[in-house]
Amino acid sequence: MTMSLIHKLIKFCCLRNCLLLTAVAGVFLIQTLTFPAKAQENEFIGEKIVHLLQEPRHRTVHAQDGLFLLDVQVNPGDTSFAHIHDQAILLTYISAGSGPRDGSVSTNIDYASTPHTHKVANEGPGLMRIIAFVNSGLAVSDSNSDEPSGMNSEPDIENPWFRSYRVELQAGEQTNIQTHNNNTVIVQGSDGLVLVTRADGVAAELDAPGDWTWRDPNSPFIVRNVGQTSVFVAINEGRQ
């Protein structure tokens, strides 16, 4: 056998082994990348899975213009059905199982682009309650064109779907007259007595944590604490 033929055989064997190793590595990489996704799909096999708006502990109490207000209540020791989130959501926390949350707010807008399935469990000993604001619309592109008038503080949350102000009012204190360019829900976050008064003098009374009232776009109102103690109120816009 000539030396040139031997060299050709060696090169062929090396190339064949490299291709084989590349193929094996590729299969391993595919398995590594797909395994977590497959595991997530399999997490709720055999369980009832519903959309967020159909989950019975997430009760829709108001729906308007693609916005949904949910009164979420999970009793001690209870767990919700597995449910799918695929819309931006703003959460006003009234209570956790461990105690009051005083209307603290948070948001998840990633759900609008990356749907997520999960369950909500409450270990107790108290009620878990959240007032959830769901926006099924598209993101607002201009961040400044719809700013409200009459607000004397910066929003606690501002993103392309929501704007939220969490306000603490002392006994007898009231806000300025405020006008929002979006649908707005006012949520009482803590114990107290609150009046939300329209420009025509008609008032909605909120007297317990989790009470709420809705205001249409461009409807001026004042929020006033008529109780004897300070109170937290969340003023939440669904931007459109």
Fold of the CATH domain 49-135: Jelly Rolls (2.60.120)
* Coil, helix or strand at residue 21: helix
- Mean pLDDT of the region 10-36: 38
pLDDT band at 78; cut points 50, 70, 90: very high
More confident residue, 70 or 8: 70
Instruction: Give the tokens for residue 153.
Output: 């503080």
pTM given for the model: 0.82
Residue 234 has pLDDT above 60, yes or no: yes
pLDDT for the residue numbered 31: 35
Q: Taking a C-beta distance cutoff of 8 angstroms, is the pair 119, 82 a contact?
A: yes
Residue 4 has pLDDT above 60, yes or no: no
Q: Is the peptide bond before 125 cis (omega within 30 degrees of 0)?
A: yes
Fold of the CATH domain 157-238: Jelly Rolls (2.60.120)
The closest of 219, 223, 133 to 180, measured between CA atoms, is 219
pLDDT for the residue numbered 144: 83
Q: What is the average pLDDT score of the chain?
A: 87
* Coil, helix or strand at residue 171: coil
Alpha-carbon gap, residue 135 to 239, rounded angstroms: 8
Residue 38 has pLDDT above 70, yes or no: no
The position carrying tokens 């025509």 is 200
pLDDT band at 27; cut points 50, 70, 90: very low
pLDDT digits (tens, 9 = 90+) for 111-170: 999 999 999 999 999 999 999 999 999 999 877 899 999 999 999 999 999 999 999 999
More confident residue, 188 or 42: 188
Q: Look at 96-110, 133-147, 168-182, 211-225 and tell me which has the smallest mean pLDDT.
A: 133-147
Residue 11 has pLDDT above 90, yes or no: no
Considering only CA atoms, give the Rg of the chain: 27
